[in-house]
Amino acid sequence: MRFLVDNNLSPVLAEILRVAGHDVSHVREVGLQAAADEVVLASAQSEQRVVISADTDFGTLLSRSGAKLPSVLLIRRLAGRRAAEQAATILANLPAVAEDLEAGAIVVLTDEWVRIRRLPMSGQTNHGKLPN
């Protein structure tokens, strides 16, 4: 899968996901560390990447725009954890959400649950326990 890791998450997370076989860029690597969220979303969309962030503003922007892509993997309650722990949770649960991310979704991931909202936003939410 192709990811763009937001500035509020460590470049180490990007590296761990890269080692796991994913095509990953960190916003710092592509000169977007000071870019507005809209610019980060536009870059992810043009490069067909899923944004990984702890910033809930991405979901708000996508719901207001009516856009179908890019997808966002929003990590919550994991933001204070080490990059290795964040990566382990993402990698353990990626098979369960990969199809949604490829189709266009906001996936909220914690260490206990996952919430999937397909894009464009329709008001429907799917909840489920993580398979950890």
Closest by CA position to 110, among listed 81, 61, 77, 73? 77
Structural domain including 35 reads: 2-129
Query: What amino acid occupies position 48?
Result: Q
Closest by CA position to 17, among listed 1, 37, 38? 1
Low pLDDT (below 50) residues in the chain: 123-127, 131-132
How far is residue 42 CA from its own chain's centroid? 14
Domains in the chain, number: 1
Q: How many CA atoms lie within 13 A of 106 on its CB side?
A: 24
pTM of this prediction exceeds 0.75? yes
